[in-house]
């Protein structure tokens, strides 16, 4: 399907199909986006992964084991917290889905424990992963330690420096952390290196991809494992308030926490949905990581999606105070939801995100991750446009890992 074909799609029909079935089409596409663009040597591994994932997610025994791990290891369900003082300050009714209190401090553990169980089921002896802010790396290291799997985590050298606490956590959990110095030395380079590793040993190695990106079936698989966020939040909100929120907001880098929160609300026409990208320091190419707001279609890391590239198709470096949002592309399901207008994507600047972080800390006693603070800044924008709205924010992670960055920006020692 081409972009021209996509423009002729019945958006309502496509959305209904996605909501009811949840699975992309036979080619692993969400409308024109997604698919599978991988080296021939990886095709058997990808095919085996898709078959194994579909079988496992429809297997009662696997689902029972996963549910037990989410309950007893991860600490689910995570709470829904009403932010009373921040609600008053912003003129909205603000609710927070607290993934920051999940084990390892972010939503990443939902996907990591699910894929680690799948890796073991498929007979893998070794797990590799990529990480930006370090939360996926920590979650993967913890899941592998839990299940007795060897773990190697690739991380851009820039992120290794600014996310030092998480690097130490990964090592203490038994993972080998490999600093990637080529390319932009951030998340994109880390994914490049993880894919190279996987190509060299696609049989005994399992690539535990951390976001809803990459070749099919990863965008679908990660969304299915993260949808527990939205399923819980929707039920909790209805129980607490007797209805649904007016708006749901989450930060978007690759997009796993966002698609996990969004998906159970896609069929609710009364609920507006907002994804907030990293606006960085400006609107020029290389000054932000707002892929949907400013990107164009292309192929990166195995799928067709929106990405930040120049007029020659060269993928560009990004800029963000957040280590977890500075990815040059976005998950294909997000690109599709943008194309049919179901989700409103916007950007929040570094300063807007840091200001929202400070307000949540001062008024609610919660230190969010810098990634999450972009969602908070977006919620503030939504409140200014819709005073009094009931707004649900995916609080995707806690900010302990960001203290070196916050201290440095405040003028202290890094």
The answer, yes or no, to whether residue 74 has pLDDT greater than 50, is: yes
Q: Determine the structural domain holding residue 48 and report its residue range.
A: 28-70+108-223
Residues 352 and 271 in one domain: yes
pLDDT digits (tens, 9 = 90+) for 117-162: 999 999 999 999 999 888 999 999 999 999 999 999 999 999 999 8
Q: How confident is the model at residue 1 (pLDDT cuts 50, 70, 90)?
A: very low
User: Structural domain tally of the chain?
Assistant: 2
Q: Which one of 14, 87, 99, 108 is the catalytic residue?
A: 108
In a domain, residue 183? The reply is: yes
Residues 278 and 291 in one domain: yes
Q: Which one of 50, 69, 130, 371 is the catalytic residue?
A: 130
Work out the number of other CB atoms within 10 angstroms of the CB of residue 3: 12
Residues 142 and 246 in one domain: no
Domain boundary among 171, 189, 223: 223
In a domain, residue 21? The reply is: no
Determine the Cα–Cα distance for residues 10 and 148; give it in Å rounded to an integer. Answer: 47
Mean pLDDT of the chain: 93
In a domain, residue 292? The reply is: yes
In a domain, residue 12? The reply is: no
Residue matched to tokens 């800044």: 377
pLDDT digits (tens, 9 = 90+) for 227-283: 999 999 999 999 999 999 999 999 999 999 999 999 999 999 999 999 999 999 998
Residues 84 and 171 in one domain: no
pLDDT digits (tens, 9 = 90+) for 364-392: 999 999 999 999 999 999 999 999 999 99
pLDDT of residue 412: 64
Task: Provide the token pair at 315.
Answer: 């993928």
Q: Which domain CATH number covers 367?
A: 3.40.50.1100
In a domain, residue 311? The reply is: yes
Q: Which one of 193, 373, 396, 401 is the catalytic residue?
A: 396
In a domain, residue 217? The reply is: yes
Residues 217 and 234 in one domain: no
Residues 64 and 184 in one domain: yes
Three state DSSP letters for the chain: CCHHHHHCCCHHHHHHHHHHHCCCCCCCEECCEECCCCCHHHHHHHHHHHHHHHHHHCCHHHHHHHHHHHHHHHCCCCCEEECHHHHHHHCCEEEEEEHHHCHHHECHHHHHHHHHHHHHHCCCCEEEEEECCCHHHHHHHHHHHHHCCEEEEEEEHHHHHHCHHHHHHHHHCCCEEEEECCCCCCHHHHHHHHHHHHHHCCCCEEECCCCCCCCCCHHHHHHHHHCHHHHHHHHHHHHHHCCCCCEEEEECCCCHHHHHHHHHHCCCCCCEEEEEEEEECCCCCCCCECHHHHCEEEEECCEEEEECECCCCCECCCCCCCCCCCCCECCHHHHHHHHCCCEEEEEEEHHHHHHHHHHHHHHHCCCECHHHHHHHHHHHHHHHHCCCCEEEEEECEECHHHHHHHHHHCCCCC
- CB hemisphere CA count around 344 (13 angstroms): 12
The pTM assigned to this predicted structure is 0.94
pLDDT of residue 19: 79
Based on the residue annotation, tell me whether 256 is a catalytic residue of this protein: no
Based on the residue annotation, tell me whether 401 is a catalytic residue of this protein: no
Residues 249 and 171 in one domain: no
Domain boundary among 223, 258, 289: 223
pLDDT of residue 10: 61
Q: How confident is the model at residue 199 (pLDDT cuts 50, 70, 90)?
A: very high
| Range with top average pLDDT, 184-188, 339-343, 409-413 | 339-343
pLDDT digits (tens, 9 = 90+) for 89-116: 999 999 999 999 999 999 999 999 999 9
Based on the residue annotation, tell me whether 130 is a catalytic residue of this protein: yes
């Amino acid at each position: 399907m081409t972009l021209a074909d996509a423009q002729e799609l019945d958006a309502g029909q496509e959305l209904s199909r996605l909501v009811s079935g949840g699975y992309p089409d036979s080619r692993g596409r969400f409308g024109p986006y997604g698919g599978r663009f991988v080296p021939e040597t990886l095709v058997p591994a990808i095919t085996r992964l898709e078959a194994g994932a579909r079988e496992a997610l429809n297997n009662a025994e696997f689902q029972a084991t996963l549910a037990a791990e989410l309950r007893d290891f991860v600490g689910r369900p995570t709470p829904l917290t009403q932010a009373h003082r921040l609600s008053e300050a912003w003129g909205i009714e603000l609710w927070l889905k607290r993934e920051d209190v999940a084990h390892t401090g972010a939503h990443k553990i939902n996907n990591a424990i699910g894929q680690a169980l799948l890796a073991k089921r498929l007979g893998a002896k070794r797990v590799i992963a990529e990480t930006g802010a370090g939360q996926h790396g920590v979650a993967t290291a913890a899941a592998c330690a839990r299940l007795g799997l060897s773990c190697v985590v690739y991380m851009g050298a820039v992120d290794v420096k600014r996310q030092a606490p998480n690097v130490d956590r990964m090592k203490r959990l038994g993972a080998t952390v490999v600093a990637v110095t080529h390319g932009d030395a951030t998340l994109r380079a880390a994914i490049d290196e993880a894919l190279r590793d996987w190509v060299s040993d696609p049989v005994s190695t399992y690539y535990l991809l951390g976001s809803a990106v990459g070749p099919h079936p990863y965008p679908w698989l990660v969304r299915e494992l993260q949808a527990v966020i939205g399923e819980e939040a929707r039920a909790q909100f209805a129980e607490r308030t007797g209805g649904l929120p007016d708006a749901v907001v989450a930060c978007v880098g690759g997009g796993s926490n966002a698609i996990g929160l969004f998906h159970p609300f896609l069929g609710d026409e009364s609920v507006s949905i907002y994804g907030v990208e990293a606006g960085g320091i400006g609107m020029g190419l290389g000054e932000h990581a707002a892929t949907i707001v400013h990107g164009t279609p292309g192929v990166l890391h195995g799928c067709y999606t929106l990405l930040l590239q120049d007029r020659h198709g060269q993928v560009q470096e990004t800029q963000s105070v957040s280590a977890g949002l500075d990815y040059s592309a976005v998950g294909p399901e997000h690109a599709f939801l943008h194309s049919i207008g179901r989700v409103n994507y916007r950007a929040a600047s570094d300063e807007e995100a840091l200001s929202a972080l400070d307000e949540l800390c001062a008024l609610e006693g919660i230190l969010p991750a810098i990634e999450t603070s972009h969602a908070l800044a977006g919620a503030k924008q939504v409140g200014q446009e819709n005073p009094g709205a009931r707004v649900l924010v995916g609080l995707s992670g806690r900010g302990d890992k960001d203290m070196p960055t916050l201290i440095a920006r405040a003028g202290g020692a890094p």
